[in-house]
Amino acid sequence: MNTLSTVNPFTQQVLETYNFQSKQEIDKTLNQGHLAFQHWRNTAIAVRQDFIHTVKNKLISQRDAYATLISTEMGKPLVQALAEIDKCALLCDYYIEKVPAFLQAREEKYLDKKVVHALSPTGIVFGIMPWNYPFWQVFRFAIPNLLAGNTILLKHAPSTTGCSLALHDLFSSEAFPNRFQSLIIDLHQVESIIAHPAVQGVCLTGSVKAGSAVGELAGKHLKKSVLELGSADALVILDDAILFKALDGAFQSRTFNAGQSCIAAKRIFVREQKIEEAIAYLQGKLKDLRIGNPLEEGINLGPIAKIEFVQQLEEQVKRAIAFGARKISGAEAQGAFFTPGIIVSEASNPMNQEEIFGPVLNLIPYQDENTLLRNINNTNFGLAASVWSQDEAKAIQWAHGIEAGTVVINDYTKSDPRIPFGGIKNSGFGRELGELGFRSFLNEKAIIII
């Protein structure tokens, strides 16, 4: 096929059909991006700041339209889509303020020489981005790179192609053309882009399968890569934690965006003696959810992004039950929706090695804390985790023992523009956000003065 179609997940109606771009069109885009980089890399920091400030103002001025587009293409409730747009604006503010300090050269003096450590841009950064946060995921890799002097090439998820083109228009500028470009391409076209000499980095957020394939291509063509992949994140409620506060965090983490988030709490560890109390509390919260048309006011859980994902979720829950899990309520397909629900599984259930990408509250009982850490770390993933306790020192000690890129104490995991974010193991490598993420696709040059 030479086309792709986007589908409204609520109505299941086709929204638009798009043609894949030809090799000639892709080559033209790459050449334009390279020429743009040659100019952009030499612009003053203040010019780049002004450019991103303009992008932010355009974003806010069209906030409602962009949020509606997000909800229409991937099913997120409108109030959550609006929050996504607002978070993108906050990210712009953070990097606009910090970029002069982040790019400041640093000097070191030795007895026989002086070394200047300088950061410089490298070229086009190719972003392969997912559908679940179609604006935020793009902003978090594009904004710091543009401010650093790199240029951007985007391949978005096919199901959010409308968002991809909207982002292309948002970043368009007559004064600074081709700093940000979107492509509509098929998977087999990806390698030629990664191999192109103008492309100096690849940033992917997606599945382990996608990350493995792109990581292999990046290695083959010697391109730096940052991969943020799947997870089976643990939310750990220690015995001294305020149970209902921790369960509120677990509930919000697992139902926001219909549970379609890499950093959602997918394994919720609760003391065995408190499992029934936890079940009763969560069932009460499930009753308060309003499920329906994501564009309707008051809705806080929309459809799953694609109908095939609904079927996948149902199969995963069935397999968990076949391996001994107990289904308490919900957790089943209902047309384009997957009803939020609760299951109770043992830590050894093989399904706890998979990522369940939907609103399934998976409670895992533990008898004591002696084997708890081993069960938390018994996973091929390592993106994030949260620990709940009234004893901060104890919680910090637990955080040090958990194998993950981020551990949050007494809150559920949320990405923050100020804090580096990324995983270990099959959750990927490299970092986005914060100062560390800012440096991911820059050349750290040592200038040695004798």
User: Catalytic site residues?
Assistant: 228, 262
Of 86, 175, 83, 163, the closest CA to residue 127 belongs to 163
Pairing of strands 151-155, 180-183: parallel
Q: What is the DSSP letter of 291?
A: B
* E strand or H helix that includes residue 286: helix 275-287
Q: State the virtual CA torsion across 263, 266, 270, 276 in degrees, nearest 10.
A: 130
416-446 burial: b if 16+ Cβ within 10 Å, else e: bbeebbbbebbbbbbbbbbeebbbbbbeeee
Nearest to 119 by CA among 134, 143, 99: 99
Tell how many helices (H) and how many strands (E) occur in the chain.
14, 22
53 token code pair: 């400030």
Q: Is the dihedral of CA 186, 191, 197, 198 positive or negative?
A: positive
Cα 401 from Cα 373, distance rounded (Å)? 7
Strands 332-334 and 384-388, sheet pairing: unpaired
Amino acid at residue number 13: Q
Spatial distance between the Cα atoms of 125 and 224, rounded to a whole number of angstroms: 9
Question: Coil, helix or strand for 16?
Answer: strand
CB 55 within 8 A of CB 72: no
Helices (H), 19-120: 23-40, 45-61, 63-74, 78-102
Look up residue 20 and give its DSSP letter: P
E strands, 156-304, in order: 180-183, 199-205, 224-228, 234-237, 267-271
